[in-house]
Amino acid sequence: MPDDLSDDVACFGYINPLTAWLMVERFCSAGVRAVGITAATSTIAGHLAELLSERGIAPIGLVRGTPGRSVAEPSLWRDVISTDDSTWPVRLRTTIGDRLDVVLDCVGGPLGIALIDRLAPGGVFVHYGLLSGEPLPAECFDGRDGRRVEMLRLRDAVHSRPRHELPALFRPIFDRLRSRRLVTRPAHRVPLSALPDALRDKCDLLGGKVLVECQR
């Protein structure tokens, strides 16, 4: 981490921003216009929307209707659709007008096959998480109409590179953090000494990222 980044910014500068950057760089090249993002209220979804906006793309967000949660910056999204509404596929078709070029998914489960069915021929479904706890159905991998599933694991992307290449890998992230983009604002700050009590009473840690502060 560069010395000019504050600890509050630097501590959230790795997993979510770098994962989002890699997905957009690899799968949202020129020609991609319609992008769907699951778990749209998550921190990483907000990062994805920021990065896509740099390319002139307003993604479509899919959410599960968690009470009190909303996307971080509504102006970056073309639409945000709750899959709790049984008519959500109709709204999705109305919104995109045609087909999705790319889906960025961290949910898995039955939602996966529903979204793969909305991919354009040759489209890609990028799977990087499993919030539902259910794997993608087998039929997601049949490759019909050239649609494909790509798995992305940050660990593979980082640990497959020689160590001397890592500064260049992180440079686009650090540049954006300096300009106050891709920043995660912690929902809770907990002193290290109070962490055991906070973990016992987990309800106090709900609703966002937790920054554990180490006093000196």
Here the tokens at position 55 are: 């390319």
C-alpha R_g of the chain: 18
Are 112 and 136 in contact by the 8 Å Cβ rule? The answer is yes
Start-end of CATH 3.40.50.720 domains in the chain: 15-157
**CATH fold group of domain 15-157:** Rossmann fold (3.40.50)
Q: What is the value of pTM for the model shown?
A: 0.92
- How far is C-alpha 9 from the chain's CA centre? 18
Tens of each residue's pLDDT in the chain, 216 residues: 899 999 889 999 999 999 999 999 999 998 999 999 999 999 999 999 999 999 999 999 999 876 557 898 999 999 999 999 999 999 999 998 889 999 999 999 999 999 999 999 999 999 999 999 999 999 999 999 999 999 999 999 999 999 999 999 999 999 999 999 999 988 889 999 999 998 888 777 777 788 999 876
The neighbouring-strand residues paired with 212 are 190
pLDDT for position 67: 55
* Number of other residues whose CB lies within 10 A of the CB of residue 13: 20
